[in-house]
Structure 1
Amino acid sequence: MTQEELLIQIYKKDDRAFTLLYDMYSKSLFSVIYNLIRDHEEAEDILQETFVKIWKNIDSYDESKGRFYTWILNISRNASIDKLRSKGFNNRQKNLSSDNFVHLLDDSNKLNHKIDTIGIKEFVKKLKPKCIQILDLLFFKGYTQQEASEELQIPLGTIKTQNRNCINDLRNFLKV
């Protein structure tokens, strides 16, 4: 089934389409979520929440504004960032034992290896140093544009413009 056919079935709320949607995208979305959250159980919860949001909000997807994968990726990323900012999550993180941190470091190295194997980091490395810095904060570390602005001490408008330009540069590399 093509992505277009899948979207048609999702719009019709076909249950089989939901299963196929999950099968097609759950692994990649989980990787993005886990990279931000660093907690396996929380990442699974957010993944489930993400698919429910996709299912319920499919009518808000607009092909003219971007690819479907980008849309669902943003839903998962935003849900992860919301969880990171929640008071309950932050309190639980303060109470973690040191054993969890060793596990997190191991998982982080595995995830970085996965990102390397699909080649994203290689393309990012080809960008200008400022783009590498901005994309690292926004996409690999989960910063908001406001937080990246503060971290880099660059005006918010400049971060937004540079982010857009960096993404366009990255798209050009990927087209080759």
Structure 2
Amino acid sequence: MNPNQQYTEAELVLLLTQRNEAAFSYLYDHYSGALYNSILSIVSDAEIAADTLQEVFVKIFRQIGSYDSSKGRLYTWMLNIARNAAIDTTRSKGFQKSQQNQSLSETVYESAGSVNIASDDLNLRKWVNQLKPEWSVLIKLAYFEGYTQDEMSKMLDIPLGTVKTRLRAALKELHKLIKD
């Protein structure tokens, strides 16, 4: 493949639908970084994000025929696939259990030898992980990673009003969990 090769979006889509190997290499080389960062912002684990990215490119390869340029750009279509795959990953029971175990062990090692253990943070993360996945993701993005509601709306491709409603419901449920 010519490393300086450039494609218009229409040319790239045409070659992808023809299963052109050079076009898929180009697609991966030019878009994998952005898609990986999007996935990583949701799953927060580099290894799981890399695995999810590979699954995303397999889905893109299999579903390229369903891409409709009249509904949006190729990148937006791929980003939606990546976002959905990342959210599906966070909803899986295996992921949630691994995050609970990892969160606890990382905190234990980080605070080893330290007198000041952030037990409130441990409990809060435990309670957040008990929430519905669509609520848990928003709480983690807003309160642990510092995203604004508008940023979350754009990142997750859901309406701002939905973000606000889900966050409000999540905070109410969190309040109940903490009181009990």
Question: Is the shorter-chain TM-score for this pair beyond 0.5, marking a shared fold?
Answer: yes
Give the unaligned 5+ runs of structure 1. 103-131, 154-176
Alignment match, 1:23: 29
Matches of 1:91 and 1:139, distance apart in 2: 28
Tell me the CA shift for residue 16 of structure 1.
1.3
The aligned residue for residue 149 of structure 1 is 165
Aligned partner of 1:160 in structure 2 is none
Structure 1 length normalisation: TM-score?
A: 0.62
Match among 9, 13, 23 for residue 19 of structure 2: 13
Q: Give, as a single letter, the amino acid of the residue that structure 2 aligns with 1:98.
A: E
Gap change, CA 1:71 and 1:43, over 3 Å in 2: same
| Preserved contact between residue 84 and residue 90 of structure 1 (Cα < 8 Å) | yes
Q: Distance in 1 between matches of 2:25 and 2:90?
A: 28
> Between Structure 1 and Structure 2, how many residues are aligned?
123
Confirm or deny: 8 A CA contact 1:138 1:148 kept in the other structure.
no
- TM-score normalised by length of structure 2: 0.61
Correspondence 1:1-176 to 2 at 5 A: 1-2=6-7, 3-96=9-102, 97-98=105-106, 133-140=148-155, 142=156, 148-152=164-168
Q: For 2:19, what is the secondary structure of its paired residue?
A: coil
Instruction: Provide closer, same or farther for how the CA distance between residues 101 and 61 of structure 1 changes in structure 2, counting only shifts above 3 A.
Output: farther
AA paired with 1:16?
Answer: A
Aligned to 2:26, the other structure's residue is in SS state helix
1:134 deviation in Å?
3.4
- Offset at 1:99? 5.4
Residue by residue over 1:72-103, the C-alpha shift from the partner in whole angstroms, topping out at 9 and shown as x without a partner, is 0000000000000111100001111225997x
Q: For residues 100 and 72 of structure 1, what CA distance do their matches in structure 2 show? A: 38
**Higher share in helix:** 1
- Give me the whole-angstrom Cα distance separating, in 2, the residues matched to 1:152 and 1:43: 28
CA-atom RMSD in angstroms: 2.5
3-state SS of paired residue (1:13): coil
Displacement after TM superposition at 1:18 (Å): 0.9
| Bigger radius of gyration | 2
Distance, in Å, in 2 between the alignment partners of 1:81 and 1:16 is 30
